[in-house]
Amino acid sequence: LLLPWRWVAADNHQFRVRPKNSLAFTPSAVAPWLTRRHNNSQLGMSLIPIPINELQQIVPNASKLTPTGDQYVTYLGRTPRERFNSLFEGFSVAFLGSMFAYFISFVIGQFLATLLGIIFLFWPILSPEFKAYQRNWELVGGRDLIDVWVDDDDDGYWSGVPQNKRGLYGAYYTATVDDICVVDDVRATADEEYDLDEFSDYTMTSDELESMTGIPWKLRLRLLDDEGRGMQVHARMSEDYLDLEPGMSAVGVLLSTSKEFDQLAGMTDFLVLDEVDGSTITWVGDYPYLPKDEFLRIIEKNGVAEELLDLQDDEDYLDDDDEDNGDEVEKEETLAPVKSKRLKGR
């Protein structure tokens, strides 16, 4: 889909898209792209609409807010420091809450005070569950998921309702990893970026920046689709990201209140695949919105995973052609080497 240039922030992510004429997708225009992309170059989009039955399986919604195991662990803590902070907060609330329940029992009665005390007592276990539940709800904000294939003219239910008030549409965003670096703040400029190679021995438990400032290093991932639109994603640095390389394929889910996706309302984490065999490299994001096994099964079944590899093959082919065509030009003139301005060391 063709979106106007604009910066949008959602869940610690920043992205922008290139100006072109807006194009609303319809079943007749998008469905053939999954199976006959090479027959019509105009259908080579990087946003693939998601039918409602798939969207409800992979995105938290009003009927599916219960946290998964990965979501629970995210708020319980992934490092000893995070787990200590989570448990300390939980036991503090449990102790103070139990005392509060005892004193309030003289006002509201023994039965209600006992129930309240039990909730406070188990707060160290319940707290990550409630926080993950709230995070899932915040992604959709209580809005319904809308089937992108429904034609407004055929469905009288939406007649008279503004499009941006109906709910959320979903689409797969497929792209290629263009650049990878590490920053100490999401607002850091290009001159303040560190090469990922400088963090070859990095682990979350030994984060030097977090030990000194309490704020961990951030991964900055730049994605580029086949239409030239770029997206910049930030996530807490992890040793799981050390195997990332430019040229790998990535896919995530974008949510919007409009079929044209001219304004985004939410974004999930991203799956990064190996460009050769399509194996999973890692999942990039601070919070695992997508159920991993279910998401992999769906994109393999609907052809999105295969399409990612096809796009990568096409890009490699074009790169080879560019290199072949540029041989004669390179013989006639010599280009000065470009020096990287990225910081070394940390």
| Average pLDDT estimate for 44-66 | 85
Residues in contact with 48: Cβ distance below 8 Å, sequence separation at least 6, in sequence order: 30, 33, 34, 171, 172, 174, 304, 307
Q: Does residue 149 have a pLDDT over 60?
A: yes
β-partners of residue 231 are 15, 223
pLDDT of residue 36: 31
Q: What is the rounded average pLDDT of the residues 205-213?
A: 91
Mean pLDDT of 187-211: 92
% of the chain beyond a pLDDT of 90? 46
Can you give the pLDDT at residue 2?
34
pLDDT at 280: 85
pLDDT given for residue 207 in this prediction = 92
Residue 63: pLDDT above 90?
A: no
- What's the mean pLDDT in 331-340? 39
Question: Residue 26: its pLDDT value, please?
Answer: 33
Give mean pLDDT, residues 300-304. 87
Write down the pLDDT at residue 231. Answer: 87
Average pLDDT over residues 20-42: 33
pLDDT value of residue 154? 53
The yes-or-no verdict on residue 308 having pLDDT over 60 is yes
Which of 16-25, 123-132, 159-168 is predicted most confidently?
123-132
Over residues 319-330, the mean pLDDT reads 48
Burial class (CB in 10 A: 0-12, 13-18, 19+), 163: middle
Percentage above 70 pLDDT, the chain: 73
User: Is the pLDDT at 34 greater than 50, yes or no?
Assistant: no
- Mean pLDDT over the full length of the chain: 77
pLDDT band at 152 (very low <50, low <70, confident <90, very high): low
Residue predicted with more confidence, 276 or 185: 185
The mean pLDDT value for 208-237 works out to: 90
Mean pLDDT calculated for residue range 81-95:
92
Q: Which of 68-77, 147-156, 209-218, 292-301 has the lowest mean pLDDT?
A: 147-156
Indicate the pLDDT class of residue 108, thresholds 50, 70 and 90: confident
Of the two residues 249 and 159, the one the predictor is more confident about is: 249
